[in-house]
Structure 1
């Protein structure tokens, strides 16, 4: 025997002895392996396990995207304001999608993060009413996009409609304190709603991480160069944060200015959406408001006011009161407008 053959003989790995039986990693059934490294009883089990692992990783990614999204941070802020997790009680994938649509419309109305916020997210049933044992919840039928001023003037009054829960149906275990971090509240919301519901919602809504969070995390490293405190940084709008990033990079910031939405456009949109939840015929106000919207636009092209601004403001204010739950009265709007436009 040559030296090379002896070397090969001494360095060859000893063959592993086969176990008599194994449990399949996928179906957990006992099988007899053909090799020492076989871990699945059949190719179908191997494929199924690989598919399940990919789905699990994808679900984890979707959950992470939800937990770092602006929508989740907004939900956490609302839960903190209410002081209770129960404001999201009973949400399904479909109701979360409806809530997300309202949230996206709110962003659109405000021009996607421009410095001046014209519209607020208003509640039909207040989160903290002046009196009563019911709490307004975070559902699409209890929310609408409203100009800041009418919303502040309305305060926490309650006229009717909306969606709420009784205080007796809340638990101390679901209390949310004012000093609790948003990240912690988001984790609690996920546990409260169930991961399956949140993951499926994130999948259908295609939720993405918030650009705002990414920008703040980056800019926190350059507070001295920016001459800002951490609190000042967190108070900046998303657009302003982008400008600060561009400033650090020595570039001019590219800003998309949408101009937001006009008041009557938002009011008409929200009246049409809430007509599904309201039995008082609020959709009948829409044709009148659409005519007024056209006349308001014509005011800018005419040297004479077709409809006086005080009348426009009065009709708009009444419309927002109706959105806040006041009973719709078509005759009242007609009386306000009959001198200025054909009805």
Structure 2
């Protein structure tokens, strides 16, 4: 009986000391975030899922999403230093992300992984931010532009040229600007006796005398220079001399080169434009009955109405004579037929 009592006491003591004699060497544990009750912090859970007090000071607390997966973002650039106008390739991968977007030198929604080409015109930073239900995370890359050497600055000169150099009234004069040094492109402004904003201007002067023209040239850096031209506009050129003396125009009725006045003559020109001898003036005769009176240069009244020339009307009259003769014969035969029929009372065969 005494032995049983001793054994019971020993097991009871072991049961009380068991929680304080955990062997951590052969057991794996996971952090729970710190649960402290009555001064004992059950921060570790062994494989058997039984909370046990830690033998160490309470560890630093971390939020749950630190362990359960904020997005991981990896962003890389093919180059980080380029010359002006060069291309850069950006590529990225993520994990635990639900969506991503770009900011700073790019924008818009981005795929969870991918690549993109950019053409920065100055030093630029590209940031990719990804989010999920636990939070967000970002990655950035900066691309630097190598600055070209500054151009060597030279002084700006201005002048102008004139063509022709000795113009006369009525001549078109061309003024052209001539620049030297400076930095292109150049801009022009003309003043004085001409105006304009092109490299060359043209003007025709209507008065003689001295003319002054000034051109102002401005280069790309804002430098200015003035050039001046002076010309003397001469009078209009005199008519050419040394040629043959023009012959005077003869007076009315006077033959070219003659000193006497000829008498008036009558010339007859036919329909072909040839000069013919004038025919003697015909003796007027009585007009035959039934023939229309002629006027307007020998044409009949009908010819004047229908605007028929002389030759055509002559042919028509000749044809009309034949037609009238034939009609007269037919009329004569018809009258003879009816007269004989009436006298004989018989058909004429």
TM-score in same-fold range (> 0.5): no
> Which protein shows a greater Rg?
2
State the TM-score, normalized to the length of structure 2.
0.18
Please state which structure has a larger fraction of its residues in helix: 1
Tell me: higher relative CO, structure 1 or 2? Use CA pairs within 8 A at least 6 residues apart.
Answer: 1
